[in-house]
Chain A
C-alpha cells in the first residue's frame, strides 16, 4: 500500500495535485491568484505550513489518541500558521498587507488538514515531510500558473509588485506586456478565476489523455516497486 518516494513526488506535483485534482483549498487559490507575486507569496506560506504540519503530525502520530487527533492537528496547524503570519508581517510587510486575511485562513485550507489526516498520520517523518513539500509545491505551481494567466490577461503585466517579495531589485522583474488600460478585467474578477481554473484543469486532463493514448509502459513495474517498499506505518 505504501507509495514509493517517486510516487509521493509524482502525486504531489501532478497525479494527485491539491489544486487541479483534489480541488482542495480553492478559496485562497481563486482569491489570491490575481497576480503572480501574490500567488508566489501565498504558495510559499502554504508550502511551509504543509511541510511543518506534516512533520509534526507524523512525529506525534503514535501518541495522539484517535478520538482527539483532529483537534490536535488543528492546534498544530494553527500554531504554525500564526508563526508564519508573524514572520511575513515582519519581513514581507507589503505582501502581508496585500494577502491580508488569506494568510490566517491557511489554517482552514483543507489541503493541509487533508494531508495531515490522510498521509502524515500514517507515515514516517521523512516521507511525511516529502509529501508535505511536494503537495505544497504542486499547490504553488497551480497558484503561479493561475496567477500568471490572470495577471497577463487582466493587466498586461507579469511579476508586478515583485519588490514586495524580492526587495528593491524586484522592481526590475516586472514585465509590462501591453498597456494596462486594455486589460481584460474579467480575468481579475472572481468569475475569471473560476474560468481560468476550469481551463487549467481541462488542460491537465487533456495532457493526461494524450499520455494515456500511448500504451502505458510501467504499470507492472510500479506495482512491484510499491510491494517491495518498506512498511513504515
Chain B
C-alpha cells in the first residue's frame, strides 16, 4: 500500500482574502440598514458611491503599478474600505468629499505603502481623517434621525444634495441637521452644564440617543456573526469596549455630573462598529493574542481620552490610527513562546542548541 505524502503547508486556510472580505460585507449589512432606517437614503447613496470610487481608484492605481488588476480587485478589500468610509462620514456628504477621502484611502494610505498587506494604517480611517480635518463644515452636518425630523429627504432629493452639495429649495441645513449625542454632550459639558441636565434637554432627546444605540446593536449583531465565523478573534473587540468602558466608568463613579456614563460612551458614536469592524483590520492591527488585547485596550483608552479632553467629539478614527503606529512594536514585544523553547530562546538543558 502506498502512502500519499504531501509537502507543507498541511493546514489549508479556511478562508481566502476575498472570502473574508465578503463575510465582512455581509456582516456590515444589518448595521448599514439600521443607519439608513434612521438617517435616510443618504447612507445607502454614500455606500454605493464610496464603493464605486474605491473600486475605480483601486483598478486605476493597480494598473498604474503594472499589477494584475482583476486578481487584486478579487480580494474585495477596496469594497470594504469604501464601505467603512461611507459609514464614517455624515449621510449627506457632498460627492467631492467622498471622492477625495477615497482617493487618499486607496492611493496614499494603501498603494503608496505597497497595497493590501503592507499598509501600516487602516485605509478607510486615513481617508476619513483626511476629510475630517480638511472639511470640518461638511463633516459636521449630521442630519437628525429621520423619525424625528419633519422634513425627510426622498431618494431623488438625497441624490441631488449629494451631487450638488446644496439642499433642495425650501430646506436648510439648520432645519435638518442636529448635534449628535456626542456633540451635544461635549458642548454641554464645555459650557458648564451637568450630564443630567444635558441628557434631559429636549435638544438631546432620548430618541436621538436611542437611535444611535439601535445602530450600535445592529453592528454588534454583524460583529458577533464575524466572531462566530471566526473571521475575527474576540480579543480586539472586547479590549476596545472594555478600554472605553473601564476608564469611563471610573470617572463616572468619581463625578457623575461631569463625566458621561460608560454605557453612553460605548453605545454612542462609533465604538461598536470601530471595535468589531475597524480595529480588527487584519493588516494594520496587532497579531499576537496579548498584542491584540493591548492594541484594543489602547484604542479604547484613547477614544475615551480624546472624547473627554480632546478637540473632537468622537475619536475612533484617531485612536485606531495612533494604535496602528504601535502595532508592529506590540507584535515584537508580545511574541508568543515557541513550542519546546523557553521564552528566552533555546529550551533549558539543551546544551548544543
- A residues sitting closer than 8 Å to B (CB atoms) are 181, 184-187, 189, 195
Contact = CB atoms under 8 A, between A and B. Distances in A.
Given A184-B100, A185-B136, A195-B108, 10 more contacts: A181-B137, A184-B134, A185-B133, A185-B134, A185-B135, A186-B130, A186-B133, A186-B134, A187-B134, A189-B133
9 contacts: A181-B137, A184-B100, A184-B134, A185-B133, A185-B134, A185-B135, A186-B130, A186-B134, A195-B108
User: Which 10 pairs between the two chains have the least Cβ-Cβ distance?
Assistant: A186-B134, A185-B134, A184-B134, A186-B133, A186-B130, A185-B133, A189-B133, A185-B135, A185-B136, A195-B108
Contacts of A185: 133-136
B107 to A, nearest CB: 11
Interface in B123-147: 130, 133-137
Contacts of A195: 108
| Chain B residues touching A, range | under 10
A155 to B, nearest CB: 12
A186 B133 CA distance: 6
Nearest to A198: B112
A232 B108 CA distance: 48
Nearest to B108: A195
A185 B131 CA distance: 9
Interface of B: 100, 108, 130, 133-137
A195 B129 CA distance: 14
Contacts of A189: 133
A184 B104 CA distance: 13
Contacts of B136: 185
Nearest to A189: B133
Of the listed residues A181, A186, A189, the one surrounded by the most CB atoms of chain B closer than 10 A to its CB is A186
A135 B246 CA distance: 56
Of the listed residues A184, A185, A187, A189, the one surrounded by the most CB atoms of chain B closer than 10 A to its CB is A185
Contacts of B134: 184-187
A91 B314 CA distance: 47
B138 to A, nearest CB: 10
Contacts of B130: 186
A187 B100 CA distance: 13
A181 B136 CA distance: 11
Contacts of B100: 184
Nearest to B133: A186
Nearest to A195: B108
A189 B130 CA distance: 11
A32 B134 CA distance: 19
A181 B94 CA distance: 15
Nearest to B138: A182
B62 to A, nearest CB: 18
A179 to B, nearest CB: 13
A37 B134 CA distance: 22
A184 B97 CA distance: 10
A189 B311 CA distance: 15
A128 B36 CA distance: 68
Nearest to A181: B137
A184 B100 CA distance: 10
Contacts of B108: 195
Contacts of A184: 100, 134
Contacts of B135: 185
A186 to B, nearest CB: 4
A185 B135 CA distance: 7
A183 to B, nearest CB: 8
A176 B130 CA distance: 24
A199 B139 CA distance: 26
A187 B134 CA distance: 8
A201 B108 CA distance: 15
B287 to A, nearest CB: 27
Contacts of A187: 134
Of the listed residues B130, B134, B135, B136, the one surrounded by the most CB atoms of chain A closer than 10 A to its CB is B134
A85 B180 CA distance: 49
Nearest to A184: B134
A2 to B, nearest CB: 40
A186 B104 CA distance: 12
A93 B239 CA distance: 55
A14 B98 CA distance: 37
A186 B134 CA distance: 5
A187 B104 CA distance: 13
